[in-house]
Each structure stands twice: as structure tokens, then as C-alpha cells.
Amino acid sequence: MATMLLDTISRNRSFWWDRARCAHDDAPGLEAVIFDFDAPLAATERDAHMFRELIWSLHCGDIRVGVTSAGPRDWVEPLVRELIGDGVVEVLITGDDVTRPKPDPEVYHRALCELGVGPESAMAVEHSPAGFHTARSAGLATIVVTTLGIRNRDFAGAAAVLDRYDGDEPLSAGRCRRLHEQWWINRSRLSA
């Protein structure tokens, strides 16, 4: 009898945090990450390993993976296969697939279209100021992984600016989700 009474009370009781609307409720979920493959993604074997770990983390976390490159398909496709493997990258957009190369956002629009997601549900990983601005002009939250020559550049509006893939907290599916969500929350606050 006492157990039934407690069950009835707990079903009828509501706490403020059960009714409160969370700040992240309006943030779209991360469905895809699109990588720029034109920069030296794997400067060292450690960088290559961490990049592969990130890609597999995304793939296993049900986040779709796309790759863009200004290079021709017959050059890029074997490099992607060698570095990442088969079956992980769902969309590969190369210079052969677009009429207007970067800095025009056509490459990202095409990747989003083929992935079947909108810019609010995707994130870009770029390695240059031009690539960052291209991804941003396509409406994408963007992580910038810098190289030695561009570390001191201004990447205002980036979801994150990192020196490497492995850093203090390596990029993973979970971290990408958190950065994407935080970027959208901050964007919503600024536009309010």
C-alpha cells in the first residue's frame, strides 16, 4: 500500500527542472561533419592517427562524414581511401564536381545536398582562413585546425580554433556535438 502511494505521489509531483526549457532545446543536432582535404591533414603520423580516430568516432557515433577538395577526383579519392579507408566517407566533392571553386560556397552546398542535411545540422573542419570563410558563408559552424603559418589569424565566429586534432581534449564525436551545440546557442544569443 505504501509503495502504491509513493508511486502515485511521484507521478503527480513535478519539479521546476522537469518543466524548464533548456537553453540547448533550440540547437539543432549534429548530423554531419564535412572535412576540407586540401590542407596537410596528416603532417605527422600522430596527426594522421588522430584524424583517423576522429573520423571513426564520428562514423561510430552516427554522424555522417563528408570530404571536400579542390583537387581532381582521380587524385583525391585514392588519398581519402588510403588515409581513412573505405565505407566511412559518405560524400566526396572534388574540384571536378563544382563549377565555382572556393571561396565560392558551392562545394559546401553540394556536400550538404548530397548528405541530405541543412547547414544547421552540419559542421565544417577547415585549415585556412579562406576555407573558414567559405564554410561560414555556407552557414556552417566551423572548427579550424590551424597550421604553423596561420596560428595568429583571426577566426572570429569559429566554433573552435585548435592547434592540432589531439590537443588537451582530442576531437571526437562527443566533442564535435558539444562544440556544434555551443556555437548555435551563442549564435542565438547574439541574434536575440
Tell which residue, 91, 87, 95, has the closest CA to residue 32: 91
Q: Which H or E element spans position 171?
A: none
Contacts of 111 (CB under 8 A, 6+ apart): 34, 66, 68, 91, 93
C-alpha triplet 135, 83, 129: angle, nearest 5° = 25
The pLDDT value recorded for residue 20 is 45
The pLDDT value recorded for residue 17 is 47
Q: Are the CB atoms for 121 and 141 separated by under 8 Å?
A: no
Say which DSSP state 42 is in.
T
Report in angstroms the alpha-carbon separations of 125 from 10, 23, 65, 92, 176: 46, 25, 11, 14, 10
Tell which residue, 40, 26, 48, has the closest CA to residue 184: 26
Tell which residue, 36, 110, 30, has the closest CA to residue 64: 30
- Looking at the whole model, is its pTM more than 0.85? no
Mean pLDDT by 10 residues, the chain (192 residues): 52 50 66 86 71 92 95 93 89 96 94 97 93 95 81 85 81 95 83 58
The pLDDT value recorded for residue 47 is 76
Q: Which H or E element spans position 186?
A: helix 173-191
Give the start-to-end residue ranges of the domains of the chain: 29-191
Domain 29-191 maps to which CATH number in 3.40.50.300, 3.20.20.70, 3.40.710.10, 3.40.50.1000? 3.40.50.1000
